[in-house]
Amino acid sequence: MRWSKVLNVVECHAGGEIGKVVTGGIGDVPGETMFDKKVYLEQHLDDIRKLLLFEPRGGVAHSANFVLPSRHPEARLGYVIAESTEYPAMSGSNTICTATVLLETGMVPMTEPVTELVLEAPAGLIRLRCECRDGKVTGVRFTNQPAFAYHLDAKIEVEGLGTVTGDVAWGGMAYVPRRWGSRSRRTKAGTCACRAS
């Protein structure tokens, strides 16, 4: 048998969401930032995303995280997130999976009971506080990039519903929050605290 490509992949999950963390086999990807590297992967190496996330190796609920060298002086490493349909700039569950794999495989030294870590995502620097015990990551907290509103009171045409008015916000992904009554619920977000199981 002749192998054309070998990838090192560690599967992990955060809250039931499956994250395949690619720890080797890609090498470095051109770009100054993780966002630049994300764009390069989308345009030139999308076959790797499809290999990992489409049947028979993946599924619609699977994600992949490509661990790459970061050029940012504060970041230990960087990662690019790939989902079955896109390359999002940030994802909480994928961040937890990536940090867990980096620490539990020894790619980044683990300090018990807490390891502080800075990683670069396509959205920017993510500062993590990982609780560790007996060589395992037991909890991850991180500070996300600030949330913001793309559009307030945007008029959106929805087939079968007509014109719907809503706010479009970013908080790791783009969302249209559901309106409750005549007032929408707007929140300020910036810190996400999550527990790995």
Which residues are known to be catalytic? 91
Is 30 buried (19+), middle (13-18) or exposed (0-12) by CB count in 10 A?
A: exposed
Q: How far apart are CA 111 and CA 133, in angstroms?
A: 9
Backbone φ and ψ for 184, nearest 5 degrees, come out as -90, 155
Contact criterion met (CB below 8 Å) for 132 and 138: yes
Contact criterion met (CB below 8 Å) for 99 and 143: no
Contact criterion met (CB below 8 Å) for 89 and 123: yes
